[in-house]
Structure 1
Amino acid sequence: MANVLVLLLPPSVLRKIICFLLFMSLADTQNTVVFQPSYVTANGPAVSALLLGNTSEMSLNLRIVSPSNTTGSIDSPSCEDEATHWTLTREQIDETAVRVHLRLDKSLRLCGDNDSDTDCCPKPLCVLETIRVSACVDGTQRASLLIQAKIHALLFPENMGNGNETAFPNNTYQSLGSCPCDLTFRACDVRCCCDKDCSNEDLKLFASNCLLGPFGGQVSLAPDYQCSVQSAENAPDWFPFLCVNSPPENNPFLGLFYRGDTIMPASGPSFQSSVLSAPVPISIYTQGSPIFRMDDQYFTIPQKVLGSCVNGAPVAFLKNFRVGCVTLLRSCPTESPLKTLPSDLSVTVKNVQGGDAVVSVTDEVVVDLSHFISNAVMFLSKDVRLVCENVTLALDYTFYWTGSGITNITLRRTVGTVTLNNTVELTTRYSAVFLNGDFMRETNSGNPGYQDGRPVIGGNMDTPDNDGGSIQRTSINLWKPEGDGSCSSAAKNTVLFGYNSTSGCLLPVSRHNVTQCNLLREAVTFLQAALIPATYVAKSGNPDALTTADWVNISFVTLNSSAAMEDTESSCSGIPSHQHIRVWSLATGAVDGSPQREIVALQVSYVLSSWSLVCGGGDVSPCLDPMESQLFPVTSSVTFTDNPVNTGPPKTRFQINFTEYDCDRNDVCWPELAFPITKYYTGEPYSQSLAKGLILVFFFIAASLLGTPWKQIRQAWSCAAL
């Protein structure tokens, strides 16, 4: 009937009643404080629960409750505190949540027979009680938590040893393996009734299920061949003539006899992190020894150890390194090494020569962060935009040394402003270079010839206001892909002498770029030209900047811009996608048996290709969306050609295959037997030497026919004919 009356009310009145009920429910919810969960069964000495709601002025009280003798119900709620064996602590998580911790302040050890310590459990069921935690405001309980604690005593072995010593008895006539099922040291093994670590309470749990045979008792079961085992009912036909009489103690499970003594167990391997010993200062720096600060601590720079970056890695004396560490940046850094101050980096280092060396810091601000930041890897939010200023991007140290000490240290700190609108990968670079002397010197690639694996030295003419000019060194590079492999994040690798190599990067090209082929060709040409900013290349590994004879012009093969480009709506031709560097070298001599090579020419050429968008395979978005891009390779390579010193006539196939007849590599030369009639004889014209040679051959044949051997042959033939 009540439901019918409500439905008969006007709609406007019904809406007001519903809004009033919702307002009262919301007001009551804001003042509600509850425990989650509100009832807990505890089997251990620690309990945790959450108190949710407005807990700003809330106090927590603890007391033990018990059922009433008359009604049997639990005592009425109360905010009075009571002394218990439980310790109550609270941890504020946020404004509307508090974590409540309860820990039993009582030993769970089972009391012994003659134990005078009262802090133990008289019975195996040590704790059986109900605890109430009350949340009160001004003496009024707002929420309560009931904890039913049912905790048993911990059973420890009766003969637990102390320390690391294990005492063995005199086992001359007693086996060390008398209980083979005792596998766990200082712990009771389940169903092992001979385990001395098992207490009486433990044995009661599995006394009826002990392991049988030698793995469950003091003595193994007697085998079938024992005379005491067989009986008249089941005795075989060979019994008792072939049975064995032996005491039951003689069994293969006795183990080895050992005269007992106290043994100190050797320390085994540990998987815990070892504690590093304090640094030991040294009095002299040697190659590889750590560098120390004035406070006798290691001088550290972030380095890579076993493939991972370590911020506190000590710097080794005379050990150059250059590393890059990748950090997933989600927020602005606040600590070293990404956030540093010049005062923190300007430390004092021992020079082991009775003085010190202070790190001199100079800052370099970069705007283009393409070499340090890769593309986003995780999307956060469109509204998230953080501007991180003065982020440390690179730390480049230069150590100047003389003898066994350090004379000066300079640091170039590279900083920049990083804008975060999503999570990015920040690549920071750290390097250390040791230079002998007190000033910066140019690093050579040989003395005088190039050494394999050293950088090829490039240069540009620097013409000052006066008449003279010098050549400033620069590098000749190849692509070095990093991060996602795109050309925007790629670095550069210096061309190393004698090492042929090929590398490249990926350039995203969209439909909008393809419609402007001239701009695309110019962009790729600019990328390739940035690899070789030099116009000269050094002939030798130690060129003189003021001597132009030590340098060779680099030959650039110009692109044919007058040729007709067959461009379409979705493709562009004539793209200089591949840049090839060809280096010609020549061995000009030797120093101490080592050949000295010079660069005689260097040519840079390009391979033109056509780029067209591929829209097959069901993916037509690159051809429809003008901003959808595809990746195209931009590559570079270098080839070294070594010209031989002696350019004589090529060897014949006979000289290559039959080296035993080669007069240049053998003491006995059979072809020289007819040397006067060969073309290599130059003492007189070839026609005359040939005629004289034929005359000699004629005389040799005539002498052979008219000589003694043929005369005897004719006489023997005449006698046979008669």
Structure 2
Amino acid sequence: MALMRRGVNGEETEDEEWPFFPMRIAASMYNYDDSTYLTVDANRAYTLSRKMPPSCTCRKTGDTDDECTMFECTCICDLTAGACDYNCCCDDDCTQDEKERFENLNDCLPEGPVDDEITKCYTTKQVDKINAKFPMTAKGTAKSSVDRALCVRYDNSDLRGEFFDDPGYPDSLDIFDESQGQKNYDYPFWIEDEEIYSSDQSFDAGDFIPAAFAVTDLSSGGGIPLSDGYIDAFQGILPLPVPNNNGICSEAASVKFATPQSSTCIRLIQNLEAECASTLGSFRWSASLYLGTNGAASSSGSTDWIPVTIRSVKYTNFYDTTQTEHETFNDADVDCDATYGTSTSCLGTSSATANETCFNALVAVHYDIVHQSDGINSIVEAFADLLLTDIPQSANNDDNIIIIRQYYSVGFRSQAAIARSQANIVNRTRSGNPGYLFGRPLLAGANGNNDVIRPLADGLQLVAASGHGDCHDTISVPFGADTRTGCILRLNRTELRDFCNGVGDYSSTGDPGVPRYFNVSDIFGNPTIYDEYIGIFGNADPLDISQWLQITVKAPQNTAVWRERTGVCESAITSMNFRFLWSYVGAKDNPQPKIVAARLDFSKEDFAFTLSSTSALSQKISFPITFTATFIHYDEDAAQPYTPPAPPMAVSVPYDVWYPFKVESAATRGSRPTTLPFIIAALLLASFWFVSV
């Protein structure tokens, strides 16, 4: 807290924050080196052996200084022994003149306890109104006559304060191994190692998966002897690279059994030739990798390991999203791992013709891990799906760095037979059951044949920027989280004109000024999108179209117009905006979020080609486009109380059997209590009494 001071005229000033003491004296004045010991005179040694520290005063009546634990320290600003601490008005090392100077400057530092005296000041006129009798007059004190104020100080409490109990000294330093001697968070090298439990034969959810390379696949470098068997890969655990704080791929995260995961990160390649086969190689993630069949896999046990089999390979052009699948890829063909040089790609037509190219560089890998559950969870198969590309050296930026975005994911499936019903015929990941879970992907899909939905594996996708800012990437839309992405169209003047007229590689066919990445057809007439359905609940079944909600597309007005003289494309479609209305349904203590409405609309902007010189017509200019998804909570979800109606009577009786008593109907039964139970009880009791008599 801050120290407040009141002047004689009633003004308040704020001093340093309590108990902050600035270092106001230069260390050089002591004339010693802090790397050596101070000089002390052993002849002046003494021993107090008391609980109360020096410079404090005992507040407990009857206790001596040796035994006192209720004490108050009244000069905490005296931080320098043998020298005056400036502005410490209680420092005995300061002269009286120095103390007076500090006080006159109103610079005294906090000295210790808070003043327990309460000061109240009144003007002389107020005092005279209350009690004008002697001596409570305007001249009752000399100071009040001067200041024209009367100040009264009082302390009418016998409480001397609250004091901490002295805990004494622990009997043993083992207390640092107990909870009292530890913190919840501490430096790692201070934390005691936890007991390590050996893994059993069965995998459980969240267990790490052992990973290894076969010794026969390794080359012995530096005279390191290699024997038969397996050697740990990636520190013995299968990793799943994740982005660090800068978005760069970090291989510190690990795959966890029965836990589907996915991540996206970037690699910064400074030396393409040196990092091609290592950092960008795919075989270290697939063909050369072995996984432990159980959590206790042994490096010497051949039956404890299974190879990762490459199931499929796709090739993508480095500069666009064109992909080609290669069904005849042979995972034993080492020539198809990442290589740098002059060889052509073994997968397809390379986008790179220069010699300085990294062929078959890894873009994405997906693991499909199969396990059996016959009492012991063990891994029986592991597959890898790869996406590769060729990276030319010319792809570097102004800093001579090549940026490539990579994708990693893993899924798990069991060999156990599963009973199929209408809700689980299609293997898929739900985003809730039934209501959406916040942060899970928003279910989306296209209308297939026979009124079924072709769902997207990762939910609704928004186009996003690749490592170079181009529109070559996508991200999933998480339920409940407003999302905004963007990317860049790089166009010269001719390409901008074609785009504005609805032709060329960057425009949606037939739609002037609409980027092809919006994936919308007939946008100005009867607009439709390919992925036009949204799951109403998080467990929407693709086989039941009634569980899906169609997105309404709002057609924009006025098509884009190209102005040749100014080089402006007026009213270009630059933003694609999804809006989702959601509400709670079900029990109030267990609410289930659902989508109740979905709409897609578009925003417009003028794209202007700025001509800076007569030779700049072929120069490319960056034009941004954006994609948004907004979730709005629909407030029409007020909870309603519900009381079930009374159950029907077991036997049929005349309607006037209870005459002249009045019986409430089921519709009003919840409004006030009925006397019917008491009447029945009375009649039964009367019948029993009559029979007894």
If the TM-score is normalised by the length of the shorter chain, which range does it land in? 0.3 to 0.5
Give the TM-score of the pair, scaled to structure 1: 0.44
In the superposition, the TM-score normalised over structure 2's length comes to: 0.46
